[in-house]
Amino acid sequence: MKNTNLNFRHLYYFWVVAKEGSITRAAERLDVAIQTISAQLALLEQSLGKALLAPQGRRLVLTEAGRVALSYADQIFLLGEQMQEVLTESDIGRTMRLTVGLSDSLPKLTAARLLEAALQLPNKVKLVCHEDDFESLLGELSVHKLDVILTDRPVPSGTTLRVFSHLLGESELMLFGLPELAERYQPDFPSGLTGAPLLLPTRNHAVRGRIDHWFESHDVRPDVVGEFDDNALLNTFGRNGMGLFPAPSALAKDVKEQLGALPVGELTQVREQFFAISNERRIKHPAVEAILNASHSSVFAV
């Protein structure tokens, strides 16, 4: 019968060897004897009943079991580093940590609005934000590297991940542009949009298909001069006057103040939805709960 008590020192030595690619370099990094590492690796493999490393020339390479073990070790020692960071903070007990994944398709002005509710709690909140594509963030959430994901789409049906979608709200979209563009295209909106320079999210975004359908239904054909995965980059080009661009109508004031752009017209019935994705159906993190409670009132009010 295998020993089920995992020795984390042995696992840590394996983790360093896997990262360094050799026992010699691992020994130098850890400042221990090569024989010590070799012996503890052998004990780890014996306890697991699997070979984790195999020689390939002068290097050690991971076996299939080793790749699985390394993926878990990465998570274990990342969480250990995060725990140490949190526990060494001088104001521990008074500060609440909120680690948020921001989908690259989420309008950053919307993200800022949503996060305001968490930052207004009586207890101090330390906010840590990671931006990535939706699928990568789901993977990080599933192994508890994130407390919540803010995004523009729900979790797809049929997923094997135990994660839950919470609708935060929705807003109709408007086209915006710098004053010169707004003055040119606002009077004949929407019929005068044919040939207008347009900046759009790529078709990876949930709302792109609805925008395309709106233009087709109004029989207008703007000139799409740019498509962007990253909403922040889209807004940057919009702020530089490269074209008209869509944004939630609820953020019209923010778009004017931060991007210098004015509304051109509303894309009627084209609504963008926003979601929080969590590991629990019932939210337990106070800062995430504050985001959910505030979303239906002030955040999406025009």
- Indicate which CATH number applies to the domain containing 41: 1.10.10.10
Instruction: Indicate the helix (H) or strand (E) that contains 47.
Output: helix 34-48
Q: How far is CA 155 from CA 74, 159, 197, 210, 279, in A?
A: 25, 7, 33, 19, 11
SS3 of residue 74 by DSSP? helix
pLDDT of residue 58: 75
Structure tokens at 166: 């919470």
Residue (of 13, 29, 24, 9) closest to 55 by Cα position = 24
Same domain, 71 and 93: no
Q: Is position 2 within any domain?
A: no
Q: Is position 131 within any domain?
A: yes
pLDDT of residue 81: 73
Last residue of a domain, one of 67, 87, 107: 87
Same domain, 137 and 276: yes
Same domain, 81 and 165: no
As a dihedral over the C-alpha atoms of residue 73, residue 286, residue 295, residue 283, rounded to 10 degrees, the angle is 60
Q: Which domain holds residue 33?
A: 8-87
Helix 231-239 / helix 252-259 crossing angle, nearest 10 deg: 60
Chunked into runs of 10 residues, the chain (302 residues) has average pLDDT values of 70 89 88 90 90 85 90 82 65 72 86 85 84 88 87 84 86 94 95 96 88 95 94 91 93 92 94 87 80 67 52
Same domain, 118 and 216: yes
Q: What is the CATH number of the domain that holds 271?
A: 3.40.190.290
Same domain, 197 and 104: yes
Tally of CB atoms within 10 A around 62 = 19
Structure tokens at 136: 């990568």
Q: How far is CA 247 from CA 58, 107, 282, in A?
A: 56, 8, 31
β-strand 95-103 against 148-151: which pairing, if any?
A: parallel
Q: Is position 39 within any domain?
A: yes
pLDDT of residue 280: 75
Same domain, 151 and 295: yes
Same domain, 60 and 101: no
Number of domain units in the chain? 2
Q: What is the DSSP string of 57-73?
A: TTEEEE-HHHHHHHHHH
